[in-house]
Structure 1
Amino acid sequence: MFWDEIVGHDETIKMLQGMLRRGRLPHALLFAGPEGVGKTLVAKAFAAALLCQEAAAPCGRCLICRQAAEFAHPALQVIVPAGNTIKIDQIRQLQHEAALAGGDEWRLCIIEQVERMTAQAANSLLKLLEEPPPRLIFILLTALPHAVLSTIRSRCQVLRFAPLPPEVLAAALSRRGYGEEAARVAARLSGGRMGTALALLTPGGMALRDQAAAILANLPAANMETVWSLVAMLDKLAPADFTAFLHYLTCLLRDLLLLADGHRPDLLFNLDLTHELAGLVQAWTPSALFAALAAVRDAGRAVQGNASIRLTCEALFIHLVDLAKEGSDAIHSSRRAL
C-alpha cells in the first residue's frame, strides 16, 4: 500500500511526507481515528517510504516495498492484541529485540489497538518511549485515543484520521469497479471508512446487516420465545461484531424514521432495501422509532462499558418488541377510527 493508493487523509499524508523529506522523524507517532478509516494503510505506506532504497521512495516495486505492504519486512515489528489485550510479555520481547538491534538502518514498531494494553504493558512501553532506542520509530494505532495512557500520548506526535464524506468514498469505490448502488450503500453504512466499506463489499460482508434487517422485520410479531432465541444467537457474537450489529440496527431504524417522516428514499443508508423498508415502516410510529433508536444507543454504550452482551440483549429486545407492538397497535387503532 503506497501513498497514491490511499483515498483521503491528504493533510496527514503531506505531513508524513514532509517528515521523511526533511529527515526530521519523531520517535513516536500516534494515529487516532475510527476502526477501518485507513490508519493501517497509512502506516504501511510510511514504512515503505522509510525503508525503500530507491530514489523515489516508496517505489512500490522492490522487495522492500512489497514486504512493507504485508508487514513482513525484518525491520518491521507489529504487535497486536493477544486475545483481548496486549500483554507485558509482548512489550518485553520488543524491548529485548530493540536492545539487540544496531546499525544505521531504520526500524519500526507498529502497535495496533494500543488502548488495549494492560497497565503493566503500558508502563513498560512508556519506559521505551522515555528513552527511545536510536533509529526506532513507534507507530501506535488507536480508535480510542482517550483510553491510551496520557503519559504515552504526551510522548507521541498525534495524527488524527477522519472518515471520508460518503459521496467521496462511494466515488472511490466505483472507480475500483464496484456497482454504483453497492458503492453508495457501503460508503454510507461504513460511516466513510474505506476499510469497513471494502469489508462490506466482500462476499458475506453484509451478513450482519442482513441479520439485523431480518430481526427488525420480525419484531412486530415476536414473542418472548423469539426474544430468548435472539439473545442466544447474538450472545455468540464477538464484542466487535455485536457492536457492528447494533450499528446496522441503528442505520435501519434511522432509515425507517426518514421514511416515516416522508423523506426521499434516495437519502436512505440501506438503498438496496428500499422496498422492504417501505413495507416495514407501516408497522412503526415515529415516536416508537425514536425510542428504539435511544434503546439501541444505550445498549451500545453498555457494551462499551463491558456490560454482558446477553443481559444487554435481553433488556434491549424485550423493549424493542414492546415498542414494535405499541407502534403496530397504535396504527391499527387509528385505522379502525377511520
Structure 2
Amino acid sequence: MKWNDIIGHKEQVAMLRHMEISRRMPHALLFAGPRGIGKSLVANVVAATLLCSDQEERPCGLCRSCQQISYGSHPDLLLIAPDGTNIKIEQIRTLQQELSMASFNGERRVCIIDGAELMTTQAANSLLKVLEDPPGEIVFLLLAANKQMLLTTILSRCMVIAFQPLPDDLLAQALMTKGYFPEASQVAARLSGGRIGIALALLEPEGLSLRNQALEIIQNLMDSKLEVVWQSAGILEKMERSEILAFIKYITYILRDILLLVAGQGKQLLFNIDIAEDLCEVADRWSESRLVTAIGAVESARRALLANANTRLTSEALLIKIYDLAREV
C-alpha cells in the first residue's frame, strides 16, 4: 500500500505528501467526495505513511508497521465505520477510551472515520470534544460522501480536501492495467461516474445485473403488452431503495445512449458500448423529443423516490409513461 497505488487525485496526493514531509500534517482532515471515489485508499496510504518506521521512503510497504496495516491489524490505526445505518455514540465513547491509553508504539496514532456524515448528533458532539482537545499525537481522517451533513463545528476543525471523479480514460486505463478487458473497462469507467470503487464492483461477475435488467425491461416495454408494466413494477417493488435508485440510473443511461444514436452521434460516446447492438435495434422506434420526455420522467421518478414516495406507484407511473412514449407515432 504505497502512494503510487493511488489512481488519479494528483493534486490531493501532492498536498498530503508535502504536509507529511514538512511535518505540517493537521490533526484532523476531512476527505470529501462521492462514495467509491478512492477516499478510503488515500486514507489508508496516509495512515501507512504516518505510522511507517522507515526513515527514507514512507510508506515503505515492508516494515512491520506497513505489514500490520496491510493485514488490518495495526494497534495504532483505529477504524470506525457505520454500525448499521449510523455511527453511534457508543462507538465514539469506545474510541475515547482507547485514546485515553498510551499508543502501542509510544508515538502517533491515526483514526479513520469512514462515513463520518452518518454520525448521530450525539456521536458527532462526542467526537467534537476529542477534536477540540486531542489526547496525544493523533491524526483524524474523516471520510464523507456528503460533508454538508456534518456539524459545522466539526467542519471548522478539519482541513477539507475535496476529491473529484476520475476522467473516464484515466480510469479505464487503470482498470486495464489491473488485467480487465478494454471494452469491460470502458463500460465500467463510464457507468461508474469516474469512481474506481464503483467501477471495480461493476466488473464483478454480477456487477452489471441491474443494468442488464433495466435493458430487458425497456425492451419488454417496447415489444410486449401492457401486462409487462405490472410484472416489471412487481419486480421493482421487491428491491431495496438503493437498488431501485441504481436501476433508475441505468434506465437514464440507456435512454441517454439511445438518444445519442437517434441524434446520429454514433457509438463512440455511448456509456453502454457493450450492448450497443441491442440499443441500435430499438433506436429506430424512438424520436429525440420522446426520448427527452422519457428521460425527464425518469428524473421525476428518481426525485420522488428520494423523497420517500411509494415504490410501487412510482414505478408503475414511470413504466406506463415509457410504455406510452415507445408507442407514439
From 239, 243, 255, give the equivalent of 1:241: 243
Amino acid at match of 1:17: R
For structure 2, the 5+ residue unaligned runs are: none
Which is helix-richer, 1 or 2? 1
Deviation at 1:214, TM superposition (A): 1.0
Match of 2:101 in 1: 100
Match of 2:29 in 1: 29
Contact 1:104 1:135 in 2 (8 A): no
Deviation at 1:185, TM superposition (A): 1.1
Amino acid at match of 1:191: G
Q: Structure 2 vs 1, CA of residues 92 and 316 (structure 1 numbering), >3 Å: closer, same or farther?
A: farther
The residue correspondences of 1:95-244 to structure 2 (distance < 5 A) are 95-102=96-103, 104-221=106-223, 225-244=227-246
The residue correspondences of 1:45-84 to structure 2 (distance < 5 A) are 45-55=45-55, 56-84=57-85
Q: Distance between the aligned counterparts of 1:239 and 1:69, measured in 2?
A: 34
Match of 1:333 in 2: none
Instruction: Report Cα offsets for 1:92-133 as digits up to 9, x if no partner.
Output: 211222223457422122111111122222222222222222
Q: Distance between the aligned counterparts of 1:93 and 1:159, measured in 2?
A: 27
Report percent identity of matched pairs. 50
Match of 2:328 in 1: 329
Deviation at 1:10, TM superposition (A): 0.7
Contact 2:221 2:229 in 1 (8 A): no
Q: Structure 2 vs 1, CA of residues 278 and 147 (structure 1 numbering), >3 Å: closer, same or farther?
A: same
**Matched residue SS, 1:30:** strand
Deviation at 1:314, TM superposition (A): 3.4
Compute the RMSD of aligned alpha carbons. Answer: 1.9
Deviation at 1:272, TM superposition (A): 0.6
Amino acid at match of 1:15: M
Contact 1:51 1:106 in 2 (8 A): yes
**Matched residue SS, 1:213:** helix
Q: Structure 2 vs 1, CA of residues 118 and 309 (structure 1 numbering), >3 Å: closer, same or farther?
A: farther
Q: Distance between the aligned counterparts of 2:64 and 2:282, measured in 1?
A: 54
Amino acid at match of 1:29: L
**Matched residue SS, 1:277:** helix
Q: Distance between the aligned counterparts of 2:233 and 2:254, measured in 1?
A: 19
The residue correspondences of 1:79-90 to structure 2 (distance < 5 A) are 79-90=80-91
Instruction: Report Cα offsets for 1:126-181 as digits up to 9, x if no partner.
Output: 22222222212211111111222222111110001111110111122222222211
Contact 1:71 1:78 in 2 (8 A): no
Match of 1:288 in 2: 290
Match of 2:3 in 1: 3
Superposition TM-score, scaled by structure 2 size: 0.92
Q: Distance between the aligned counterparts of 2:308 and 2:328, measured in 1?
A: 35
Q: Distance between the aligned counterparts of 1:308 and 1:32, measured in 2?
A: 31
